[in-house]
Amino acid sequence: MIGFFRKIRKQLADDNQFFKYSRYAIGEIILVVIGILIALQVNNWNEFQKDREIEKKALLNLVENMELTINKAERKIARIQRHNKSGQIIFAAIKNSDQTIDTLGRHFHWALMNHANLALSKAGYESLKNIGFEIIRNEILKKEIVNLHENTYIELSRMQKWGEEVRPDLDTYLIDHFIRYNNGNWMPRNFNEVAKDHYFYGLINIAEGQRNFYMREYKKMLVETKRVLQLIQDELGEVN
């Protein structure tokens, strides 16, 4: 048996086949390794592309929510400005003992609204938290998004609770001292009684003070939201 293997070895050495097979085997190994590396690269690229699609969708959801919040806040500010004028109209009407203006009713109602009820749109941010913030590659953008939602928005929500605490007093006075007609207008049950009620004046002043406070806060929130929104839109431009 030993002699048999010695014979084969001698033949391979004589024909130089050993080195041919060795080179072939090494080449096969190299090809296999290269194939594995290429497969890994392709898999990594596919995973990268999937992550980028998830990132893009998450950013687009944030854009949609933030644009909705901006729209809500701008409309709220416009209403606050109108309702501040309502308070002025009510004071002027009471001062002049004017009981003949039919549209006073809605001004009575509006003058007592403090607008502590701006609902922020945050579904996109909650979705991003579930996905994981690491999906966003831009570290600066990630911090800006988190800061906007976890600080600016939460602080604004906290401030609005102050207005909600006073809101029942405004609603109670309106229900106790006014009649609501089918057209939605509220008119005093007794105009002279309301005209002499300093508590009513105080409620209007409180409501106006709260409206002005919230208007300032809403405007600051708008500036911050628009700034972060632009950052996201810039990032989406680069992604595309």
Average predicted confidence (pLDDT) for the chain: 83
Whether the per-residue pLDDT at 24 is higher than 60: the answer is no
Position 200 in a domain: yes
Position 90 in a domain: yes
C-beta separation of 58 from 149 below 8 A: no
C-beta separation of 59 from 236 below 8 A: yes
C-beta separation of 207 from 114 below 8 A: yes
State the total domains in the chain. Answer: 1
The pair of three-digit structure tokens given for residue 55, joined into one six-digit string: 């990132």
Cα–Cα dist 230/197, whole Å: 50
Q: Is 80 helix (H, G, I), strand (E, B) or coil?
A: helix
pLDDT of the residue at 63 = 97
* Domain carrying residue 110: 52-239
Position 166 in a domain: yes
Position 12 in a domain: no
Position 126 in a domain: yes
Question: What predicted TM-score, i.e. pTM, was given to this entire model?
Answer: 0.76
Whether the per-residue pLDDT at 35 is higher than 80: the answer is no
Cα–Cα dist 219/230, whole Å: 17
When pLDDT is cut at 50, 70 and 90, the band that residue 52 belongs to is confident
CB atoms within 10 A of CB 60: 15
Whether the per-residue pLDDT at 76 is higher than 80: the answer is yes
Neighbour-count burial for 162-195, b at 16+ CB within 10 Å, e otherwise:
ebeebbeebeebbeebbeeeeeebbbbeeeeebb
Position 214 in a domain: yes
| pLDDT more than 70, % of the chain | 83
State pLDDT tens for residues 175-220: 898 888 887 778 888 888 888 888 988 888 888 998 999 999 999 9
State pLDDT tens for residues 114-135: 887 888 999 999 999 999 999 9
Position 20 in a domain: no
Whether the per-residue pLDDT at 104 is higher than 50: the answer is yes
Cα–Cα dist 215/129, whole Å: 29
At 114, phi and psi to the nearest 5?
Answer: -105, -10
- Determine the average pLDDT of the residues in 105-111: 83
Position 46 in a domain: no
